[in-house]
Amino acid sequence: MGLLVNNLFSVLGFTIGSRPLTFIFISLAIFAFSLLGPIFNLDVRMNLKSGFTRRDAPSVKEIAAHVEFFGDRGAPWYMALFAIARNGSILNDMESNELTTFYKYITQEMKIEYENITLKYRDDLCEPFCKFNSQLWNILVRHFLMISHFLELIHTNNNKCVITDVGTVAMYFTTFINSTKREKHLELFEKGVLSKVRAHNENKNNSISFVLHGAYSVTQEVQRGVQITAPYYFTGAALLAVFVLFGYTITSLCFDQFEWSKLVLACAAIISPIIASSTAIGLILIVGLHVNMLVLISPFLTLAIGIGVDDAFLLTNTWMRQRDIALQQNYSPAERLQLVFEKVGAAVAVTSFTNVLGFALGCIAPVPEIRLFCASVSLSMFMDLVFQVRPHRTLYAIIITYIRAFLLF
């Protein structure tokens, strides 16, 4: 069985070495075809509104019950605004007045401009839950323990059940989305509230700080996190590139085979995982799927795991070790590549397919977006194996043929 596998890889190596330009063209054609995905079906979703929860999760069932109870008016929309007393209690006059003023402004006075139309939350967007927070104001006015759902860090007088201190107040906003225009209106409302919250919190003289939680604000935080971490990803990729160049240089010097062409091979080893991940993303878009925030980091993950880089080092090391045999037997570049594949082709395939299948198992995860991420990484690692075997290996044959032509081999 082992002999059969080695023979198969031997034939593969000779075939690739005999037709290097053909295999490079095929690989470039696959990559070019994948570019049709972002051109005709670019769908990038940088939010957490759906897809990151199991379909049978209790929260999903609760939302379905909510929609059914109110007559299926559309998809539910939620936003929460938390008011936190900085140095006192929400029940103090200063904090209470500040909270009331802010709430009144965002619900009754703040204008939302959309397509030459001016909207206000209370007049145009809040139905059928315009009085959802009314009990909160009853508490603030009466100071009786009528309801505690909106309050946190409550201190009461045990004898009379009178609220004495309130640290945090939660205000909830909810309605239904039954059109894309209404969805845009609510997004602009949340965007306006977020802007006012940030401006309010920047003023250190205010006695209350606000925390906003909603689809738009969470998406903004996700995007901000991506912007913060992006430099680290690129720095890591740059360090890996430097390491690969250094490794190729040292290895070729150890075998007394250093040529500037080795740096071309090093660059190919670095670029291959990136092109493979880009191809995988393009193919995902072509079949009608979308790209989430996790899929966008798959190129860095493929490069960081170093599957293609490891294979490149393994094949390069074997190629250099076989130089003396190739010279003695006067092997052609195709025959030399055949010998390399016979030696380490099975090892390269096993290490690569182990990771491909490992991430492919993640496709059975109950969370849809995690399945999409695992499928993307699995496909990118498979494409990395293809690109490592085809264009990267064919560069050996092309370079050696070129050097032989100038009697430098």
Residue 95 forms part of a structural domain: yes
Does 125 share its domain with 241? no
Domain residues for the domain of 289 are: 8-52+231-407
Residue 215 forms part of a structural domain: no
Does 100 share its domain with 26? no
Does 338 share its domain with 278? yes
Per the structure, how many domains does the chain have? Answer: 2
Over residues 392-397, mean pLDDT = 51
Over residues 76-95, mean pLDDT = 85
Over residues 241-252, mean pLDDT = 84
% of the chain with per-residue pLDDT over 70: 84
Is the predicted pLDDT of residue 233 greater than 70, yes or no?
Answer: yes
More confident site: 165 or 155: 165
Residue 403 forms part of a structural domain: yes
- pTM of the predicted model as reported, rounded to 2 decimal places: 0.73
Is the predicted pLDDT of residue 42 greater than 90, yes or no?
Answer: no
Tens-digit pLDDT profile for residues 313-329: 877 788 788 777 777 77
Which two structure tokens, joined as six digits, stand for 136? 């909160």
% of the chain with per-residue pLDDT over 90: 8
Does 32 share its domain with 169? no
Does 290 share its domain with 341? yes
Is the predicted pLDDT of residue 335 greater than 50, yes or no?
Answer: yes
Confidence of residue 82 (pLDDT cuts 50, 70, 90): very high
More confident site: 83 or 139: 83
CA dist 373 and 351 (Å) reads 21
Neighbour-count burial for 284-322, b at 16+ CB within 10 Å, e otherwise:
bbbeebebbbbbbbbbbbbbebbbbbbbbbbbbbbbbeb
Residues in CB range of 133: below 8 A, 6 or more apart: 103, 150, 171, 172, 173
Tens-digit pLDDT profile for residues 336-377: 777 888 887 788 788 888 888 888 888 888 888 888 888 988
Over residues 22-51, mean pLDDT = 81
Residue 17 forms part of a structural domain: yes
Which two structure tokens, joined as six digits, stand for 109? 């006075």
Which range has the worst mean pLDDT, 11-25, 202-216, 239-253, 351-365?
11-25
Give the DSSP letter string of 306-322: THHHHHHHHHHHHHHHT
CATH code for position 347 = 1.20.1640.10
Does 238 share its domain with 375? yes
Give the DSSP letter string of 71-134: T--SEEEEEEEEEEESSS-TTSHHHHHHHHHHHHIIIII--EEETTEEE-IIIII-TT-TTTTH
Is the predicted pLDDT of residue 10 greater than 60, yes or no?
Answer: yes
Residue 62 forms part of a structural domain: no
Is the predicted pLDDT of residue 281 greater than 80, yes or no?
Answer: yes
Over residues 148-155, mean pLDDT = 46
Tens-digit pLDDT profile for residues 263-272: 777 787 788 8
Is the predicted pLDDT of residue 196 greater than 90, yes or no?
Answer: yes
Residue 46 forms part of a structural domain: yes
User: Looking at residue 20, what is its pLDDT?
Assistant: 75
Does 196 share its domain with 248? no
Residue 114 forms part of a structural domain: yes
Is the predicted pLDDT of residue 146 greater than 60, yes or no?
Answer: no
Does 190 share its domain with 313? no
- Mean pLDDT over the full length of the chain: 78
Does 339 share its domain with 392? yes
